[in-house]
């Protein structure tokens, strides 16, 4: 089951209580204070993992609780800190506070642990509270409670190219042709009901790139028709959009405008991304010699492979340009604080 959104409750561990005790030695009925400090409560972390592709395992549990810290003991023995709890999530998972809606973090780095709920501090024992004015304190501190919060996890897949098209436009067939991904392919609408990722390695060499296939879009899907536009979140992070239109449709350019209109209803930034228009199913065109391809468009057949390599090369060039622009933007952003000084 593909789950891309869930809400869970996180409860970090409470800190252990400090100890109120005194040194016990022969011939000393009451020695100096030696109560130890309580241990820290366990933290809760999120860790991004590229091998995990859905929030299904996270959604299986509704509450995550870290271990509390142990209490301090006499003879200046500090309590053990509570064990931390790490939740593994797919790369691209965004964490929001479920109450305020504030953005807490974005898991984009493989293996990096991000603190999301902090454990409580352990209380001090009376040995730590002793001062010159009060060498024998008759008190100790209780441990602090750990953070408790409800968070909403939203998965947005990480990909370089997003495939957009109507149901049965040939997106899944194209993805299976250019990568090792094996999405479901059939001759009825909405065979793709969940996103799929495919890693593309250009035949002539060069950097590989990731392509995301999402369910088909129909006219007025922003109003709830079909499968809606919720799945468009999975191509928000892409640098390039590949718009796939069936070559046998009556007016490919009008069909493309419908798709772009639905993208605009979801996000203006999404429709503003660089895009490549592709006509699919060349193999079923009745009169190929009379067929007219709009300027700048590509014509291919994912079944026979005709035109596929040219499209992959073009996408590879566009992805490379997009990555260079992103690096340039990051470098400019890093220089801003220095320039402002």
pLDDT in tens, the chain (341 residues): 578 889 999 999 999 999 999 988 887 777 899 999 999 999 999 999 988 888 988 988 999 999 999 999 999 999 999 999 999 999 899 999 999 999 999 998 898 999 999 999 999 999 999 999 999 899 999 999 999 999 999 998 888 999 998 888 888 889 999 988 777 666 655 666 678 888 898 887 778 999 988 888 887 776 767 666 778 888 888 899 999 999 888 888 999 999 999 888 888 888 889 999 999 988 888 887 778 888 999 999 998 999 999 999 999 999 988 888 877 776 666 554 444 33
Domains of the chain, each with CATH number or no CATH: 5-155 (2.70.210.12), 161-333 (3.40.50.300)
Between helix 308-340 and helix 171-178 the angle, nearest 10°, is 90
Let me know how long the chain is.
341
**What pLDDT shows up at residue 226?**
62
Distance CA 274, CA 272 (A): 7
Contact (Cβ atoms closer than 8 angstroms) between residue 141 and residue 124: yes
**What pLDDT shows up at residue 56?**
87
Distance CA 310, CA 174 (A): 13
- Look up the pTM and report it: 0.78
Distance CA 324, CA 24 (A): 70
């Amino acid at each position: 089951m593909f789950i891309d959104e869930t809400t869970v409750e996180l409860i970090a561990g409470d800190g252990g209580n400090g100890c109120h005790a005194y040194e016990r030695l022969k011939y000393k009925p009451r020695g100096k204070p030696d109560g130890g400090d309580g241990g820290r409560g366990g933290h809760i972390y999120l860790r991004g993992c590229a091998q995990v592709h859905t929030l299904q395992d996270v959604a299986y549990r509704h509450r995550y609780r870290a271990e509390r810290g142990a209490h301090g003991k006499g003879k200046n023995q500090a309590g053990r800190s509570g064990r931390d709890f790490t939740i593994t999530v797919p790369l691209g998972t965004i964490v929001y506070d479920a109450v305020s809606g504030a953005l807490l973090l974005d898991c984009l780095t493989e293996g990096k642990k991000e603190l999301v709920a902090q454990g409580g501090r352990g209380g001090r024992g009376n040995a730590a509270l002793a001062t010159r004015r009060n060498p024998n304190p008759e008190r100790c501190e209780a441990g602090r409670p750990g953070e408790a919060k409800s968070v909403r996890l939203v998965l947005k897949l990480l990909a370089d190219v997003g495939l957009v098209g109507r149901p049965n436009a040939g997106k899944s067939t194209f993805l299976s042709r250019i990568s090792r991904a094996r999405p479901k392919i059939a001759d009825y609408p909405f065979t793709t009901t969940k996103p799929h990722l495919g890693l593309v390695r250009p035949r002539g060499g060069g950097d590989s790139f990731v392509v995301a296939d999402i369910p088909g879009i129909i006219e007025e899907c922003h109003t709830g028709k079909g499968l809606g536009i919720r799945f468009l979140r999975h191509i928000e992070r892409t640098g390039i959009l590949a718009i796939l239109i069936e070559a046998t449709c009556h007016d490919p350019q009008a069909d493309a405008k419908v798709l772009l209109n639905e993208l605009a209803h979801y996000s203006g930034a999404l429709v503003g991304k660089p895009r490549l228009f592709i006509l699919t199913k060349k193999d079923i065109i009745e009169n190929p010699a009379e067929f007219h391809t709009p300027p700048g468009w590509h014509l291919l057949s994912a079944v026979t492979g005709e035109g596929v390599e040219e499209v992959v090369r073009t996408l590879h060039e566009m992805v490379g340009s997009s990555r260079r622009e992103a690096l340039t933007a990051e470098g400019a952003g890093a220089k801003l604080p220095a320039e402002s000084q």
